[in-house]
């Protein structure tokens, strides 16, 4: 029913995960 909400939540989680991975990786 709330496909938009689920999609938005998934995008937020993926974005946060990518952000965390980028921070954890050594800045070269």
> What is the spatial distance between Cα 10 and Cα 3, in angstroms, rounded to a whole number?
10
Predicted local distance difference test score (pLDDT) of residue 27:
58
Whole-model pTM over 0.75 = no
Residue 10 structure tokens: 């998934």
Predicted local distance difference test score (pLDDT) of residue 9:
92
SS3 string, 8-27, reads: HHHHHHHHHHHHHHHHHCCC
> What is the spatial distance between Cα 6 and Cα 13, in angstroms, rounded to a whole number?
11
pLDDT in tens, 1-28: 567 889 899 999 988 888 877 877 765 5
């Amino acid at each position: 029913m709330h496909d938009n909400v689920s999609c938005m939540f998934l995008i937020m989680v993926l974005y946060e995960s990518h952000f965390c991975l980028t921070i954890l990786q050594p800045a070269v």
